[in-house]
Amino acid sequence: MSDSDTYGKTGETTTAGGTATTAERPATGGATAAAAVLAPLDDRLTDLVALYEDLHRHPELGFQETRTAAEAARRLADHGYEVTTGIARTGVVGVLRNGPGPVVLLRADMDALPVTENSGLEYASTVPGVMHACGHDVHVTCLLGAADLLAAGREHWSGTLIALFQPAEEVGSGARAMVDAGLYSKGLVPTPDVVLAQHVAPFGAGLIAYCPGACMAAADSLEITFHGTGGHGSRPETTVDPILMAASFVQRVQSVVAREVAPKDRVVVTVGSFHAGDTANVIPDRAVVRLSVRTFDETVRTAVLAAVDRIARAEAAASGADRAPETELLDSFPVTVNDAATLRGVNAEFTRLFGEQRLFAYEPATGSEDAGLLATAAGAPLYYWWLGGWDPQEFRAALAAGRLAQDIPSNHSPHFVPVVRPTLTMGVEALTAAALDQFAPGAVSAG
């Protein structure tokens, strides 16, 4: 991908003729409403930056986002939304009914990660061992900014807007929990006609990346417990060693990708945890392995999970274990699939607003996300895009040197902290423009 000449300085956006603030950006065609609604953004930025820094200082783990949820609810109420809190413990929704038209759902996830921050920033996390290492503080800030602008500019659109703040994305259960709590079935929000979401990523701030179709992998996290017979380390012949059993499994399970999956089918199998025993001279009676399986096709997913189970059982049998291993599903994410028509329509609005040079296509990511559940539960299309968040000059230098993996921290890194501007500006603009595109006459049929 190329990012040359696509970045502005702090608080600015680059155009063919130089730089322009949000309010000064020219509006043509379908971008007229967006320009009018976005005009107050420059005056809101100081408050949004303060909000972002506050959220970053006070990260909260999944289903514990009480402080974040309270701030989202307070601001939505101030902007005139009908607010419901406590959905699946900490979920928050705001509904703004603004005449006839489609129902558009904008989603942000709120949870942080059990990561110790190592950024050195003045507004670094103050919570020991917890950090917004995946940028969900960016997501919350941008959605609150968009919700504010869309409420203030409601004369420029018609329809119903839902601003949804979701808990526990990192463990894959937040969206499902909100749906199961009656998000649609109990009428906590109207059933949306479209679901829109974004995620900050470690490429240059000022860019938007998109992927048609299956854009993020399904993910299944498994815990497999191998049972052996423990004993003294000096007499291994009297035992069935679960460490050897599990270690053989760890090696053999990689053959699933290498020998059982066609090259065209993208699959990742990663063992991330191995626990057994407490001391050097005792063979324990069990070993516990945790692994992650990522796939893009349901048939392939079923086959890979069956192969993992088969290999685990075979290694236990080969070791002479008198008990079969036990497998527990820890969490599961579905494949995230972008709707082609929605992607084309929103991208056309992005192109009008930002310029064609700021959008680029990317390959499907093996990371996973649960936003798609909010769409499938409603029978609605989804568009989920990536928002650049890294310092543009640092990104360009790393790209030119072929050192992106080495020099640019990824999501979940203790060093992953997006630059505040233009990341927040672009994120608010993108959510606002995407919603307005759906509210445009004829863009979506009301349900």
Nearest 5°: the CA angle 164, 346, 191 is 35
Strand partners, 210: 361
- Which residues, 6 or more positions from 39, have their beta carbon under 8 angstroms from its beta carbon? 22, 23
The angle that helices 242-252 and 298-319 make with each other, rounded to 10 degrees, is: 150
Q: Where are the alpha helices (DSSP H) in 326-401?
A: 340-354, 371-376, 392-401
CA pseudo-torsion sign 403, 408, 412, 413: positive
Task: Report the largest interatomic distance among the alpha carbons of the chain, rounded to a whole angstrom.
Answer: 81
Token digits for 444? 């979506």
169 catalytic residue (yes or no): yes
111 catalytic residue (yes or no): yes
Which has the closest alpha carbon to 373: 246, 192, 237, 201? 192
The angle that helices 66-78 and 136-152 make with each other, rounded to 10 degrees, is: 10
Which has the closest alpha carbon to 162: 214, 116, 101? 101
CA pseudo-torsion sign 61, 66, 67, 73: positive
Strands (E), 28-129: 82-87, 91-98, 103-109
Q: Which of 60, 65, 111, 369 is catalytic?
A: 111
**DSSP 3-state percent helix, strand, coil across the chain (nearest 5):** 35, 25, 40
Q: 244 by DSSP, 3-state: which?
A: helix
Q: Which of 169, 193, 339, 369 is catalytic?
A: 169
DSSP classification of residue 229: B
Half-sphere exposure of 331 (CA within 13 A, CB side): 16
Residues 357 and 8: beta-carbon distance below 8 Å:
no
Which has the closest alpha carbon to 135: 114, 110, 118? 110
DSSP classification of residue 239: S
Cα–Cα distances in angstroms (integers) from residue 340 to residues 101, 433, 440, in the given order? 21, 18, 18
- Residue the block writes with tokens 């670094």: 124
Which has the closest alpha carbon to 34: 441, 435, 446? 435
Half-sphere exposure of 289 (CA within 13 A, CB side): 25
What are the residue numbers of the active site?
111, 169
